Amino acid sequence: MKNKRNPAYITCFFLTFLTACSSVNTVEKNSATILPPEELYGGLFYDVQNKEIFPDSKTFVDAQPLKEVREIRQEYENLQNKTPASVSAFVKRNFDIPVTGAIVYKTDSSSINTHIRKLWEVLKRPADDEISGTLIPLPNSYIVPGGRFREIYYWDSYFTMLGLQQDKEVGTIRNMVDNFAFLINTYGFVPNGNRTYYLGRSQPPFFAMMVKVLAEEEGEEVYVEYLEEMKREYEFWMAGASDLSASNPAHRRVVLIAEGDLLNRYWDDKPEPRPESYREDVKTAKEAVAKFPDLTKEEVYRNLRAGAESGWDFSSRWMDRDAAGNFNLYTIHTTKILPVDLNSLLYNLEKTIAQAYGINGNSSEAENFRKKAARRKALILKYFWNKEDGFFMDYNFRRHKNTEVLSLAGIYPLFFEIATAEQASKVAGKVEQEFLKPGGVVTTPYHTGQQWDAPNGWAPLQWITIKGLRNYNKNGLASKIKTGWLEINKAVYGRTYKMLEKYNVEDLTRKSGGGEYPTQDGFGWTNGVYQKLSSE
């Protein structure tokens, strides 16, 4: 099969990256060095964040230096007056500061579907020619979510592709899949997004699902084309599995629960504050160690970052209740939890690799990965199914029991057809009882002030839930969720001509909220899911 990617360009780009990454102890011109912001800008980074020069911690780490970074650092070291006003003026002289808030788009009275088709071009970014600040260059154009999210995001992009597929933007889908393949080949995994400050973590592994979307348009040989990248991603998630033992049961993203029972968790390689949420993480860590003296700040940072890798940053899924029965972020313990959604996605990755090997004629490797998938399916049913609650729930491997948190992550075994028919019926009942609201489904039934909890509903989880229920012929409930979600999208668009990142699905007269930043508009995955569902 002819490979439709441009190997010469990608090889050249890859070699450029290797050259850039080789000088990690130097700070050169921004087009020749790729470093996270705390290493790139040194003391300037910490002063900007600690002095609260910008309301959003992400603003400065996305800024583009206007001259050589070495020169900027030297000038800042020589700056005598480092009051907040002086630092602010220095940054404005030396950086192109990204505009925060709404995307630049002239609204009109177009239908919502037409508006979304126009937005694809607004949200599209061209291939990057050079490293600029913290942005990791990509060889092809791509779609960003919108608002403060000025770069590509991993799991967002699958749901965006659903809409691109509906709008026949197959070339854009291929460009994005190729970009993710490029990141896998360059770094060994797909980072959270194409920023240097995301290089410690990934996001829910949807690459195989993206390949499926492209294969639906271009044929099954697409699976073979991206087989090596799918294998590399699988190796990233399974790294260290062969070294686990009863005395060493966990390493990075793999956990040995019992003899032969191995599953995965979210993780991040850096036990430090997230540069894009620096002040927030420092505050949370300070609260946590004050409450729990045996805890270290490094542990808190790791758990916050792992929560960010989950895409659910943040949710009661990763927390404990306090004495008053409330969930608090300072109790976050993501790395102790085996997530049902992650393991369902890895089951799908194993199945997809087996499928690609089968198409390629390698029957022995196809059988090998089919066995891996079958084994994981058995473990998902063993550890994540909570008989008492009649729902799939995350598993705390330190406490050897399911967490007490109901969340729409429990729908993933239906989405990937892992659940039995009986289990699916019980899950559907729980969704109708606990999650169904006038505007779709809430992420969890709990009001915590976190954005991945009630009252918020998110486009990706509407799609996962609707499709999962349909897989087991729960079409009536799926239809209720679909209708509620499309109606709230249309109602907000009718008032504002905007597509939002998330919605308040409980009270349709109120805005969504919670979390570390205001609700963003744009918005990639909302657009994608709306186009897909409304086309039916």
Residue 518 is predicted with a pLDDT of 73
Residue 63 reports pLDDT greater than 60:
yes
% residues pLDDT > 70 (the chain):
92
Task: Report the phi/psi class of residue 188: left, alpha or beta, with left for phi > 0 and alpha for psi in -120 to 50.
Answer: left
> Model confidence at 517, in pLDDT bands (50, 70, 90)?
low
Structure tokens that stand for 178 in this block: 């190729």
Residue 498 reports pLDDT greater than 80:
yes
CA separation for the pair 464, 446 (Å, rounded):
20
- Angle between helical axes of 278-291 and 43-50 (0-180°, round to 10): 70
By three-state DSSP, how is residue 521 classified?
strand
Active site residue 501: yes
Helices marked H in 294-448 — which ranges?
A: 297-309, 340-360, 363-383, 412-415, 421-430
> Model confidence at 2, in pLDDT bands (50, 70, 90)?
very low
Domains and CATH numbers, the chain: 7-96 (no CATH), 112-267+337-534 (1.50.10.10)
Query: What residues have CB less than 8 Å from 311, skipping those under 6 apart?
Result: 155, 203, 204
Half-sphere exposure of 442 (CA within 13 A, CB side): 29
Mean pLDDT over residues 50-56, rounded? 96
pLDDT digits (tens, 9 = 90+) for 284-334: 999 999 999 999 999 999 999 999 999 999 999 999 998 899 999 999 999
Q: What is the pLDDT of the chain when averaged over all its residues?
A: 92
Sign of CA dihedral 162, 163, 166, 170: negative
pLDDT digits (tens, 9 = 90+) for 321-373: 988 999 999 999 999 999 999 999 999 999 999 999 999 999 999 999 999 99
Structure tokens that stand for 111 in this block: 């239908």
Query: What does the chain come to in residues?
Result: 536
DSSP assignment of 310-341 equals TT--S-GGG--B-TTS-B-GGG--GGGEE-HH
Structure tokens that stand for 422 in this block: 């009986």
Residue 519 is predicted with a pLDDT of 76
Whether residue 225 contacts residue 355, with contact meaning beta carbons closer than 8 Å, is answered with no
- Angle between helical axes of 340-360 and 207-218 (0-180°, round to 10): 40
CA separation for the pair 191, 199 (Å, rounded):
6
Window from 18-32, 100-114, 451-465, 504-518 with minimum mean pLDDT: 18-32
Whether residue 137 contacts residue 13, with contact meaning beta carbons closer than 8 Å, is answered with yes
pLDDT digits (tens, 9 = 90+) for 174-205: 999 999 999 999 999 999 999 999 999 999 99
Count of C-beta atoms within a 10 Å radius of residue 92 = 12
CA separation for the pair 277, 313 (Å, rounded):
11
Choose the catalytic residue: 313, 341, 350, 394: 313
pLDDT digits (tens, 9 = 90+) for 90-116: 999 999 999 865 455 566 678 999 999
Exposed (0-12), middle (13-18) or buried (19+): which is 325, by Cβ within 10 Å?
exposed
How do 95-96 and 64-65 pair as beta strands? antiparallel
pLDDT digits (tens, 9 = 90+) for 254-295: 999 999 999 999 999 999 999 999 999 999 999 999 999 999
Give 285's DSSP letter.
H
What torsion, rounded to 10 degrees, do the Cα atoms 397, 401, 407, 409 define? Answer: 50
Structure tokens that stand for 147 in this block: 């608002």
Residue 4 reports pLDDT greater than 80:
no
By three-state DSSP, how is residue 266 classified?
coil
CA 91 remoteness from chain centre? 30
> Model confidence at 479, in pLDDT bands (50, 70, 90)?
very high
How far the first Cα of the chain sits from its last, in Å, is: 33
CA separation for the pair 231, 237 (Å, rounded):
10
Torsions phi, psi for 132 (to 5 deg): -140, 105
Residue 101 is predicted with a pLDDT of 54
Whether residue 498 contacts residue 530, with contact meaning beta carbons closer than 8 Å, is answered with no
CA separation for the pair 149, 202 (Å, rounded):
16
Task: Report the phi/psi class of residue 449: left, alpha or beta, with left for phi > 0 and alpha for psi in -120 to 50.
Answer: left
Beta bridge partners of 254: 251, 264
Print burial letters for 226-264: b (CB count within 10 Å at least 16), e (below 16). bbebbbbbbebbbeebeebeeeeebebbbbbbeeeebbb
Choose the catalytic residue: 47, 299, 309, 501: 501
Residue 29 is predicted with a pLDDT of 32
CA separation for the pair 93, 72 (Å, rounded):
10
Residue 13 reports pLDDT greater than 70:
no
Half-sphere exposure of 127 (CA within 13 A, CB side): 13
Residue 58 is predicted with a pLDDT of 96
Query: What residues have CB less than 8 Å from 323, skipping those under 6 apart?
Result: none
